[in-house]
Amino acid sequence: MNSFVPTEQRLAVTRRRYPAFPREPAVLVRLVKHIYKQLHDDANALLKPWGINHPEYNLLMMLYGTEGYALHPSQLAEAAGEKSANITRLGNELCDKGLIARDGSSEDRRKVTFTLTRAGVALVESFLPGICALLERQGAGLSPRESVQLEKLLKKFLDHLGQG
């Protein structure tokens, strides 16, 4: 279990040194960072036997959750929350593994589509039971009502970040 106490202590020192430092948003940002790291580590550990990592999993799941299993790199970047350069690298890795295919457009050679292959679909469906169990464990600390409330608050927080 990760302890957030040292972070809170550092924030208290920062506020003592610089009283205008906004503690509450800083706590939220640090909590999100700590949560992301733990989720990332848990997913990497679970996915290791399948030879993929968490960022690759995210791309595979974005394609799996799309009608036709296909997205353009810019759509994939937005859906997965990745930079376009990272999509290129991850796309190359997943193509090399035979999990996705890169198809060019006949009208515009600059336009590319990533499509989940049969092997990619099979891989996703083989790790989904473990992922479902992991997600259930990760969310077990919240009641259904708290989960709905947290989802609404995080969406509100995310929406506001884009207005900055």
Domain boundaries defined on the chain: 5-161
| CATH code of the region 5-161 | 1.10.10.10
- Which region holds residue 102: left if phi is over 0, alpha if psi is between -120 and 50, else beta? beta
| Euclidean distance between CA atoms 63 and 79, whole angstroms | 9
Share of the chain above pLDDT 70, in %: 94
Quick one: pLDDT band at residue 2, thresholds 50, 70, 90? low
pLDDT digits (tens, 9 = 90+) for 103-146: 886 666 678 899 999 999 999 999 999 999 999 999 999 999 99
pLDDT digits over 37-91, tens only?
Answer: 999 999 999 999 999 999 999 999 999 999 999 999 999 999 988 898 899 999 9
Rounded to the nearest 10°, the torsion over CA 129, 49, 135, 139 is: 140
User: Is the Cβ–Cβ distance between 117 and 101 less than 8 Å?
Assistant: yes
Please, which pLDDT band fits residue 164 given cuts at 50, 70 and 90? low
Residues 6+ apart with CB under 8 A from 91: 59, 73, 76, 100, 102, 114
